[in-house]
Structure 1
Amino acid sequence: LHVEEMSTRAAAGVGGRGPRRDALTQFDECGIVVVSADAEIPALLAAHAWEEAFWRRRARLRATTRFLVFGHGSWDQLRAPFFGLCAKAVYRVVEPGWLALPAPEALADTDAWLAAQLRAGFAALSPRSLSPLPLLGIPGVTADSERAEYYRDPRQFRPAPRARGT
């Protein structure tokens, strides 16, 4: 997709990177696919309802949701996590049976889904298409996440941006 975007821009005589290439680069660096059999969990995460999703619905999140780190930069940074570590997420809702798939099959299925999603929405793809996700909020990533007040720190768990004009 990177090459396709560069070729399209070059053919149109447009220089620079553009929003599609920026989004692809961000996802390549720090992307994560959040796969859930509970549609409410991705909706809460996308709405920045961090404490609700990660803490109050923790048991449901653990039972129904998988966090598939895609970005190579995020993988590297998770070896020595730091305050504020954030990924750029895309959300996928699946049938509950998906959770029982063997890992290689689940990953292959997600790869195919992601490729189709990126192609289908390629024209509108931009960095705003990706949702921020604080990686240290995922249960088990850090011991700090084992207490509710951890999710109330707005320096790490930022509220959703206000709509323009409000």
Structure 2
Amino acid sequence: MAELTMIAAAAENNALGKDNDLVWHLPDDFKRFKKLTTGHHIIMGRKTFETFPKPLPNRTHIVITRKKNYQKEGAIVVHSLKEALDLAKDDPQPFIIGGGEIYELALPEADKIELTRVHGTFEADAFFPEFDENNWELVESSFHPTDENHNYSFTYLTYRRAK
């Protein structure tokens, strides 16, 4: 496997979402997510998968769950991060797409983090894990102001694990 990437939109307090939903609507971030993840394996927890109305097109969905008999059309179901990574090993860039617990598990394995930092703090029940920025190099940063489609400003941050 070439490069395991975690992709997330998290607030300044690392909030990801509440009640299995996002707490903001950022169309440009959705477009970027689609552009980056299309054609790749996306690895997620069951609750994250269940927030989708249907599987996302042109991506291989790998769902990690503790539920032994869980099955869903459009998803490959596994019971550990290791199983998920083994299935995605031929993908040059598989993505970890959430939620909080899966990000926590994947952080030690990740090579890259594509983080959309939403400028604000939000009440949430799912959070992106804290990571030591000394172990990561910020290689790209791009600010997006509020506008008619975006109620919050945000910054795209690309981190690579420091060698």
TM superposition score normalised by structure 2: 0.22
TM superposition score normalised by structure 1: 0.22
* Max Rg structure: 1
Q: Which has the higher helix share?
A: 1
Q: Which has the higher strand share?
A: 2
